[in-house]
Structure 1
Amino acid sequence: MTGAFITLEGGDGSGKSTQAAMLQAWLEERGRTVVRTREPGGTELGVEIRRLVQHTEGHVAPRAEALLYAADRAQHVATLVRPALERGGVVVQDRYLDSSVAYQGAGRELDGQQVRDLSLWAVDGLLPDLTILLDIEPEAGRERMAAREHAPYDRLEETGLDFARRVREAYLGLAAAEPDRFAVVDASGTPDEVHASVVSLVRAMLDAHH
């Protein structure tokens, strides 16, 4: 079997981690070898970068933030993602370069194309076979986030609704621009309802992929 690269994108509270875990279980039940990972934080270096960027109580300059995420992405793809794909595994990943375009581009108001080009250089052009955008109204996502008990301090999660709305619009724009790679899923339903939509998309992609 050849490998497949699936990424899950979406704003805070859209359920990416939950859906990644459910998708991993579904794939493994069907005999696929799955590597589930995330950005930032999928490697030892990434864990340190995640800690620096997301939990620093103070200002991280937008360009510095974008460069740190690109460094994490370069290490992650070179040491984890590409080797897994070459072994024929399915990589299920929570966030990838589209997150940088949406968050550092639209959210932090950098040039989205420059952010994308930086990430593409960092990963030597690797794009997912399928990117699933879990779309949810920012207000609903924030309500989900607030319901989490003992949530850790996260600088990105302290941004306001205007930031979240810019991020959502950026994601929807990315999905519209690359319909062959992106699929938009309504993330406002129950985990099982969202999972059913995700599985339908993944099954179709795998069938076409092979």
Structure 2
Amino acid sequence: MREGRPASGAPVHPAAPAKSPDQGLSAEQAPERGVFVTFEGGDGAGKTTHIRFLANALSAMGREVVCLREPGGTEVGEQLRGVVLNPANSNICDGSELLIFEAARAQLVSQVIAPALERGAVVLCDRFTDSTVAYQGYGRGLDRAFVEAANAFACQGIVPDRTILLVADSAAEGLERATRRAGADRMERAGEDFHARVNAAFLEIAEKNPRRVRLVRSNGRKSHTAVQVFAQLADLFPWMGDFVRANEAYFERLDVHRTHEGRVDYREDSASAPRAERSGKEQQ
């Protein structure tokens, strides 16, 4: 999925000399370094919502934003996704499952992530290597050293600059959220005990990697969760710290503006919507 839609709302940056998110930044002002941010967490933790919200804000600030999901993000990856998540393929063995995920990841890194970072884009990815460690290493019980080696092979030296770990109250709550509309895919049908192991694994991964992995509780209001996400990225995007403190109403849109399906609607008309709209392609 490529995200290029501007964030709506009434963002006002407190630093007068700089342009505000509703104005965007010029090419000369925009940072040139690519930034890779991954979102992790159990099923139903809210990754999709917060990736889209963050992507809109970054886009409005003048950054190219590439939003991806794993497995997927490429033609090959989406085909592999259809295989590994299809409930009809219940006989896929654990080893095959791991290698399917790694094959999709190798394609994504080579075809999309590495080129995007090279040209200075911000890459936001829904799941990455930590999910493989949690689901296939801890959840399935595969040899963790082998899982780590397979991750390293597929990633070709690419490591996230920051990982946001979204944590719901429980595995049962997350699964209920995830399957409320579309039903359960093959991984979601693995059982509550499996997902409890996965959630515990994510917490252990965060404890072992405190500089990269930042834990954000997602069991409260979505606006509060979004504020925490932005705060945990403020060192990578210098404008975010002041922006969070000055734009409470901007985040509250997550709690009040929704479509009939319950999804966040970023197309709501507003007198203070961003003036510099940026177009982009969306691939999902």
Report the TM-score range of the alignment, normalised by the length of the smaller protein.
over 0.9
Q: Distance in 2 between matches of 1:189 and 1:205?
A: 25
Would you tell me which structure has more helix in proportion to its own residues? 1
Question: Does 2:171 align with 1:138?
Answer: yes
Paired residue secondary structure (2:120)? coil
Question: Does 2:35 align with 1:4?
Answer: yes
Match of 1:185 in 2: 216
Using the size of structure 2 for normalisation, the TM-score is 0.70
Percent of paired sites with the same residue: 41
Residue 204 of structure 1 aligns to which amino acid in structure 2? D
Pairs within 5 Å for 1:89-100: 89-100=121-132
Question: Does 2:145 align with 1:113?
Answer: yes
Aligned 8 A contact 1:55 1:153 in 2: no
Deviation for aligned residue 1:142: 2.1
Q: CA RMSD in A?
A: 1.2
Residue 175 (structure 1) aligned to one of 206, 227, 234? 206
Question: Does 2:33 align with 1:33?
Answer: no
Deviation track 1:95-127 (CA, whole Å, cap 9, x = no partner) reads 001111100111111122211210111111211
Deviation track 1:151-174 (CA, whole Å, cap 9, x = no partner) reads 155111112111111001111111
Paired residue secondary structure (1:45)? helix
Question: Does 2:88 align with 1:59?
Answer: no
Paired residue secondary structure (2:230)? helix
Match of 1:202 in 2: 233
Match of 1:127 in 2: 159
Residue 100 (structure 2) aligned to one of 68, 73, 80? 68
Residue 166 (structure 1) aligned to one of 189, 197, 215? 197
Residue 28 of structure 1 aligns to which amino acid in structure 2? S
Residue 73 of structure 2 aligns to which amino acid in structure 1? G
Q: Distance in 2 between matches of 1:78 and 1:52?
A: 21
Q: Distance in 1 between matches of 2:211 and 2:72?
A: 28
Deviation for aligned residue 1:56: 4.5
Match of 2:110 in 1: 78
Paired residue secondary structure (1:12)? coil
Q: Distance in 2 between matches of 1:169 and 1:18?
A: 23
Q: Distance in 2 between matches of 1:25 and 1:127?
A: 23
Question: Does 2:133 align with 1:101?
Answer: yes
Aligned residues: 205
Paired residue secondary structure (1:202)? coil
Q: Distance in 2 between matches of 1:48 and 1:153?
A: 18
**Which is higher, the Rg of structure 1 or of structure 2?**
2
The 1:46–1:152 alpha-carbon spacing in structure 2 relative to 1, beyond 3 Å, is farther
Unaligned 5+ residue runs, structure 2? Answer: 1-31, 239-284
The runs of at least 4 aligned residues of structure 1 exceeding 4 Å deviation read none
